Chain A
């Protein structure tokens, strides 16, 4: 039965997350933006300890393995809850959200591709000890959206896999590799001639010899989160660090990447929505303070330009949110959501890029100033139109699905 009302229990949890965003993220938001590579360790420690105590795990459960499993009881709508919590935290700060110690996309890949034993073995660390990060390395200097062109290789040598290649744009890579006892899931090909089927995920532990963080990028936004360039030079890892089956099947490896994206794209969409809502809330409060009314219900021909803009921002954000909720809900229901996840991501990434730009515009010279956070949100928002599949890649996926075309017919 169609319903858009949140349960009181969930509303309360979201309030708690909102409190975290408001009291712990917002106060350090500007500072982390200005000092890109300095890490807010106190924030990390607090997030880590609150999450292990409360079991509520802000930003952790949702990013360690969104959607790959149907947990028993209580958490029936886990992915849906995750996107809502992500929105709350990214209302606080999207860069800080990405830097919260947890399994991250690496955890998501383990959940999507690992065996039950591997999940237990690799993910246990995120509920004990000191703060840790998981990361995922897929993009390379020569391949971005075209993930199937992965050139990093994995060669079998006795009881080991030996990895060679260069990975870029690895979110939280430095935290996972050098600053904690985390891991990186590296996607590499075991058989270049097999194309996408040969691409497999490997768990590379922190501080493994042969893996180095060669650079941490300077970015337009989300500066609280590190983006690493990782070099694998004869990096030797145990045989059982290959996630899932080593068998090269036609539909094999790449399906795992896709399964990961189906779960993480709604999360990224929710990140965008959180940033967009921050901008929208700010503009709403500002207009209210200056007694500029937003008159719902009057003739559209009588609206001022400001009213039109604001209403458009508001409804675009809502449209993106509803699409995102649906994509996450489908995952929770065990339905295939490949199309819907890409729809949500494409819509939210673009809508929020435009919403935050409009917010800066509406505030005139104030919007452009670094005294306010609006300009930062505009910079932060843009990443959501790019990572986890650019706007264009998601449109391509949607197009293929609605046309019933494969990559051969539509490329």
Chain B
């Protein structure tokens, strides 16, 4: 039955993560952007929210909480409201944990999950993207060729968060004859595996505090036990829908942050003796932002609801992400515009949000829900 109401538990999580985002993450966002680094203390504190271990089953040391894409979207929005880079950093270990929980074999889960349920932050990650202008999730170029009882991985990956600090990297590659999503498998590759080289840290327009790396795989050989899910493999379509929903939900939070900042500024800032918010040219920009933020959130929830019902949600998450990516750029850009020259100055967070927003369209596979 149609319902737009959050459950009591969801409200509680929203409020908890929301105040953490406001009080702890937001003040750290600008220093992190300037220094391209996130304070370890903040990462540890965020870890205590149980963002990763929450969904790890109890038998592997986690909290065994129920995993829901809708609840995840609500939480992600709050984190994104704090700061997108910091959110992506603290959520990165999910990139290894969640596919394991959902599609890993018992042995794989036993081997890797316990470490991710630790008391302090443990870096972990996945390698999805590739450095090509027309990078396409439906046409990965990295390959994993079967050779006897092992797989040989070859190709170049990019935008791999925290790769330099992660003991294990989940590498996605084309393994079979099937084209598109169906031919993709994921491999649990130790960072020190021969043939795997972590490159220099990438320099990007935005999301600067998030450390991402290029990976070069050159005849990198892993055992059959490294293939996630064993013979059953993975449902790559679903994993990428989860990623799209996660990134979109985070972006909605950032959109809301930009909107609120511009709104409050427009009510304060006077021109011609009155607050600029009393001018329709400004007021209508803000109204449009408010409508688009709500529309975006509902599209994200709708896609998340598909995932929660066990569907792949390909179409819904794809459409939602493209919509949100365009909206995030437009809203942060308009928010800069509302502040005029001040929006362009690094004293305010708006130029940073605009740079971060551009990443949503460019990136895939950097978060999961």
7 tightest A-B CB contacts, nearest first: A299-B136, A322-B298, A399-B283, A319-B295, A399-B287, A398-B287, A315-B319
Q: Is there an interface contact between A2 and B70, defined as CB atoms closer than 8 Å?
A: yes
Known contacts A4-B301, A5-B1: does B319 contact A398 (CB below 8 Å)? no
At the interface with chain B, which of A111-119, A121-129, A401-409?
Answer: A401-409
The reply to whether B319 and A2 contact each other, CB–CB distance below 8 Å, is no
Interface residues of B (CB under 8 A from A): 1-7, 10, 70, 133-139, 181, 237, 240, 263, 266-267, 277-278, 280, 283-284, 286-288, 290-291, 294-296, 298-299, 301-302, 305, 309, 314-315, 318-320, 322-323, 361
* B3, B136, B266, B302: most-surrounded residue (chain A CB, <10 A): B3
- Let me know if B2 and A410 touch, CB within 8 A: no
Is A285 engaged at the interface, CB distance under 8 Å to the other chain?
no
**CB within 8 Å of B: which of A286-313?**
295-302, 311
By beta carbon, the residue of chain A nearest B361 is: A300
Task: Please tell me if A255 contacts chain B, counting CB pairs below 8 Å.
Answer: no
B184 to chain A, nearest CB (A): 12
Q: Label chain A's interface by main secondary structure.
A: helix
Most B C-beta atoms less than 10 A away, residue of A5, A77, A326, A395:
A395
CB-defined contacts of B138 to chain A, threshold 8 Å: 295, 297-299
Chain B nearest CB from A410 CB (Å) reads: 5
A72 within 8 A of B: no
- Asked whether B2 lies within 8 Å of A5 as measured between CB atoms, the reply is yes
Contact status of A7 and B302, CB under 8 A, knowing A297-B181, A298-B136: no
Given contacts A2-B70, A298-B136, A319-B298, contact A403 B263 (CB under 8 A): yes
Closest Cβ–Cβ distance, residue B298 to chain A (whole Å): 4
Q: Answer whether A2 and B294 are a contact pair too, CB < 8 Å, given A318-B302, A396-B280, A403-B267.
A: no
Q: Are B3 and A343 in contact (CB under 8 A)?
A: no
Partner of A299, one of B2, B134, B266, B320: B134
State whether the Cβ of A3 lies closer than 8 Å to any Cβ in chain B. yes
Task: State whether A399 and B286 are in contact (beta carbons under 8 Å apart), knowing that A2-B5, A326-B4 are contacts in the complex.
Answer: yes
**Contact between B318 and A329 (Cβ–Cβ < 8 Å)?**
no
Shortest distance from the beta carbon of A156 to any chain B beta carbon, whole Å: 39
Known: A4-B305, A323-B291, A346-B291. A395 touches B284 (CB 8 A): yes
Q: Which residues of B contact A80 (CB under 8 A)?
A: 2
| Contacts known (A2-B6, A410-B277); A343 close to B263, Cβ less than 8 A | no
Least Cβ–Cβ distance between B330 and chain A, in angstroms:
13
Query: Given contacts A301-B133, A403-B263, A409-B278, are A398 and B290 in contact (CB under 8 A)?
Result: yes
A325 in the interface (beta carbon within 8 A): yes
In the complex, what residues of B have CB within 8 A of residue A300's CB? 322, 361
- Is A314 an interface residue when CB atoms closer than 8 A count as contact? yes
**CB contact under 8 A between A395 and B278, given known A3-B3, A311-B322, A322-B302:** no
Tell whether, in the assembled complex, residue A329 and residue B1 are in contact, meaning their CB atoms are under 8 Å apart.
no
The answer to whether B134 touches A301, judged by C-beta atoms less than 8 angstroms apart, is yes
Q: Return 18 A-B CB contacts under 8 Å, by A number.
A: A1-B3, A1-B6, A5-B1, A296-B315, A297-B315, A297-B318, A318-B299, A346-B287, A347-B291, A396-B284, A398-B291, A399-B284, A399-B286, A402-B263, A402-B286, A402-B290, A403-B277, A405-B278
Instruction: Decide if B280 touches A410 in the complex (CB within 8 Å).
Output: yes
Give 1 or 0 for each of A373-394: 1 = CB within 8 Å of chain B CB: 0000000000000000000100
